[in-house]
Amino acid sequence: MSLEFNISSNNGISIVSFIGKIVSDENLVLLQKEISALNEPNAMNLIFDFGQLTHINSSGINFIIRSLTRSRIINRDLVLTSITGNVKTIFEIAKITEIFSIYATVSEAINHFKN
């Protein structure tokens, strides 16, 4: 299975749920278009939910960092949630855990934006 995703919103926060594997830039083209559309006239804060993501490589890491940069340019934020298993190991090796706010659950991530 390659990458699938769902985007939902909750009080001005867009929640992107990743499902499957990020193994190439091709997996991310449609998602990048969707996220870019979210950032245009009414920018929203973002939560990336990795609860159903099983694999990620450097393409995925690059995408996540670019997404954070774009969010901050428009005075928004991006937080990560539900990182486990292989994905957590890769994030620790890549030191993603030092760059992002990371929460165990989507509810905790939503609370990040309420404070």
What percentage of the chain reaches a pLDDT higher than 70? 93
Per the CB < 8 A criterion, the answer to whether 34 and 67 are in contact is no
For 100-113, the pLDDT digits (tens) are: 999 999 999 999 99
Backbone phi and psi for residue 57, each to the nearest 5 degrees, phi listed first? -125, -165
- What tens digit of pLDDT does each residue of 10-61 get? 888 999 999 999 988 887 888 888 887 766 556 689 999 999 999 999 999 9
CATH 3.30.750.24 fits 4-114, yes or no: yes
> Dihedral through CA 80, CA 81, CA 83, CA 87, nearest 10?
-30
Q: What percent of the chain has pLDDT over 90?
A: 67
The two tokens of residue 22 are 């990020």
Q: Domain ranges in the chain?
A: 4-114
On whether the CB atoms of residues 94 and 60 are closer than 8 A, the answer is no
pTM here is 0.92
Query: 10 is written with which tokens?
Result: 């909750």
